[in-house]
């Protein structure tokens, strides 16, 4: 199974691992959750070992000045290091206007999980389907 890792980066990071080619009647979400900054490196390594995603995308947070900005920059640096700079960094404007960004999801998810899952849906639709059609 080919997988995709989608991240909503922040002090609390939402993540989703999705099947690249799910059955038509399924969303293809394999695992999702939230990760604190202090656990980010460990959890990204765990996700990489457990799922070995071939593709990865992250919503790049807007960097502000001060402590929050330093934490967000640390989040980006850890992510790029663990994923060997093989992560596509997208801004919210690159995906939030897409119809899949409004797909209904089950209740009980955090906003970070929702964004990570929906970002994965949009990335899969825009990028992965283009790769499949090119071959």
Q: What is the pLDDT of residues 113-131, one digit of tens each?
A: 999 999 999 999 988 667 6
Beta bridge partners of 35: 13
Mean per-residue pLDDT, 59-71:
92
DSSP class of residue 124 equals I
What contacts 101, CB < 8 A, 6 or more positions away?
A: 95, 118, 119, 121, 122
Mean per-residue pLDDT, 46-50:
97
Sheet with strand 3-8: strands edge to edge: 29-36, 12-19, 3-8, 55-59, 88-90
- For residue 25, name the pLDDT band (cuts at 50, 70, 90): confident
Query: What residue spans of the chain are helical by DSSP H?
Result: 40-51, 67-82, 111-123, 129-134
pLDDT reading at 82 higher than 70: yes
Residue corresponding to tokens 């700079």: 85
pLDDT of residue 127: 82
CATH code for the part of the protein at 3-134: 3.30.420.10
pTM of the model: 0.92
pLDDT reading at 81 higher than 90: yes
Residue corresponding to tokens 């919503």: 59
Number of residues written out for the chain: 135
């Amino acid at each position: 199974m080919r997988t995709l890792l989608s991240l909503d980066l922040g002090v609390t990071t939402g993540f989703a691992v999705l099947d690249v080619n799910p059955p038509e009647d399924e969303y293809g979400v394999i695992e999702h959750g939230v990760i604190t900054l202090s656990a980010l490196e460990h959890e990204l390594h765990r996700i990489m070992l457990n799922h070995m995603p071939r593709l990865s995308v992250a919503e790049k947070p807007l960097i502000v000045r001060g402590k929050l900005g330093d934490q967000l920059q640390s989040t980006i640096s850890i992510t790029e290091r663990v994923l060997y700079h093989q992560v596509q960094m997208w801004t919210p404007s690159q995906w939030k206007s897409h119809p899949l960004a409004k797909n209904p999801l089950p209740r009980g998810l955090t906003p970070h999980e929702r964004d990570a899952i929906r970002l994965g849906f949009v990335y899969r639709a825009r990028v992965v389907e283009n790769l499949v059609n090119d071959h």
